[in-house]
């Protein structure tokens, strides 16, 4: 097992409205292939931590290593490249580009990466759609799908560049229980069959219990995990 993500002594303060330490000495490692859930009450700092891990939030002290490389202090452009290549995102809301077809939405991160030809990317996108059982929706506009379907398209988009880590911020927060189960099963299959690493922040106790590992946070500290 190799370490994919590591934090060292991460602290973060909010200054508005008053000074408040939202993360305290966060220290943990994530191994390849782990399905990790982060839970905690709202305000415990779990989402804040996820956005620091995602490299989008750079306003913290301490060190963050992704793929054994220190990302703390890198330029925004360099971080954008890391996100493009190594991280896939699934949010509570799908954030699909409504004017594009599902297929194009899935292809966008790969087109940005530019390592494959457009045709190869399209084939790969179909592959992901097939895995998620969404092939027949490929050419529909993203806005025409149901909530559960949109979330599956968003997952396919997160997978298109074969990222090291998938980060989810309440990935099932907007879904009914049936779709929650579908999304969870997809995540589980990804980790078990494809060795995909997943870090997901969730409110859903059942979802967390079924994952490999739980990190529980209270008041900016990790108390379990």
Partner 1 sequence: MGINTSISRTYVTSNKKLTAVAVLGVLLGMSVYIFMNSLLVGFDKSATDSIFSSMSHIRVYKDDEISKVLKKDSASNFLIINPKVVPSNNTIINPKMVIETILSLDEVTVVTPQVNASVFYNNGKSQIAGMAYGIIPEEANIMYDIKSTMVDGNLDMLASNPNGIIVGSGIAEKVNLAINDKINLTSSKGINRTFNVVGVFQSKNSQIDDTKSYINLAAAQQLLKEGNTYITDINVNIIDPQQAADVAMKISQITGYNAEGWKEANETMMASFRMRSIVITFVSFTILLVAGFGIYTILNMTVSQKINDIAILKAMGFKGKDVVMIFVTQALTIGAIGVISGVLAAMGMVALMKTVYIGGDVGYFPIDFEPSQFIKGVIIGLVITFFAGYMPARKAANIDPVGILRK
Q: Which residues pair with 40 in a beta bridge?
A: 217
Q: Which of residues 113-132 bind partner 1 (CB under 8 A)?
A: 113
Which secondary structure element, helix H or strand E, spans residue 23, and what is its range?
strand 20-26
Q: In the complex with partner 1, which residue's Cβ is closer, 154 or 224?
A: 154
Site residue total, partner 1 (CB under 8 A): 27
Q: Which residues pair with 167 in a beta bridge?
A: 89, 199
Q: Which of residues 60-79 bind partner 1 (CB under 8 A)?
A: 76-77
Q: What is the smallest separation between the CB atom of 96 and partner 1, expressed in angstroms? A: 8
Nearest Cα to Cα of residue 52 among 204, 224, 169, 142: 169
Residue 148: φ, ψ to 5°:
-65, -40
Q: What is the smallest separation between the CB atom of 184 and partner 1, expressed in angstroms? A: 21
Q: Which of residues 143-172 bind partner 1 (CB under 8 A)?
A: 157, 169
Q: In the complex with partner 1, which residue's Cβ is closer, 75 or 193?
A: 75
CB-based contact 188:156 (threshold 8 Å): no
How many helices (H) and strands (E) are present in the chain, helices listed first? 7, 11
Neighbour tally for 121: CB within 10 Å: 22
Q: Does 54 bind partner 1 (CB under 8 A)?
A: yes
Please report the beta strands in 67-212, taking only residues with DSSP state E, as ranges in sequence order. Answer: 69-70, 87-91, 165-169, 197-201
Q: In the complex with partner 1, which residue's Cβ is closer, 31 or 74?
A: 74
Q: Which of residues 76-115 bind partner 1 (CB under 8 A)?
A: 76-77, 80-85, 89, 91, 93, 95, 97, 99-100, 108-109, 111-113
Q: In the complex with partner 1, which residue's Cβ is closer, 87 or 183?
A: 87
Q: Does 218 bind partner 1 (CB under 8 A)?
A: no
- HSE-up of 196 (CA within 13 Å, CB side)? 26
Q: In the complex with partner 1, which residue's Cβ is closer, 65 or 95?
A: 95
Cα Dmax for the chain: 52
Q: Where on the chain is the footprint of partner 1 (CB under 8 A)?
A: 47, 51, 54, 56-57, 76-77, 80-85, 89, 91, 93, 95, 97, 99-100, 108-109, 111-113, 157, 169
């Amino acid at each position: 097992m190799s370490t994919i993500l590591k934090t060292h002594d991460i602290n973060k303060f909010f200054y508005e409205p008053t000074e408040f330490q939202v993360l305290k000495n966060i220290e943990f490692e994530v191994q390849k292939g782990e399905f990790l859930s982060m839970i905690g009450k709202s305000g415990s700092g779990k989402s804040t931590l996820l956005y620091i891990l995602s490299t989008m939030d750079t306003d913290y002290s301490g060190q963050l290593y992704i793929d054994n490389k220190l990302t703390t202090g890198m330029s925004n452009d360099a971080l954008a490249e890391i996100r493009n290549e190594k991280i896939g995102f699934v949010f509570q809301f799908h954030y699909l580009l409504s004017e594009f077809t599902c297929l194009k939405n899935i292809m966008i991160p790969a087109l940005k990466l530019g390592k494959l030809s457009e045709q190869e990317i399209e084939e790969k996108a179909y592959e992901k759609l097939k895995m998620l059982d969404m092939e027949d929706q490929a050419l529909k506009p993203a806005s025409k799908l149901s909530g559960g379907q949109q979330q599956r398209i968003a997952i396919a988009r997160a997978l298109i560049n074969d990222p090291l880590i998938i980060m989810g911020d309440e990935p099932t927060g907007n879904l009914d229980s049936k779709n929650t189960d579908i999304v969870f099963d997809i995540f589980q299959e990804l980790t078990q069959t494809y060795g995909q690493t997943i870090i997901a922040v969730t409110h859903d106790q059942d979802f967390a219990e079924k994952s490999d590992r739980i990190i529980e946070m209270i008041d900016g500290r990790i108390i379990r995990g």
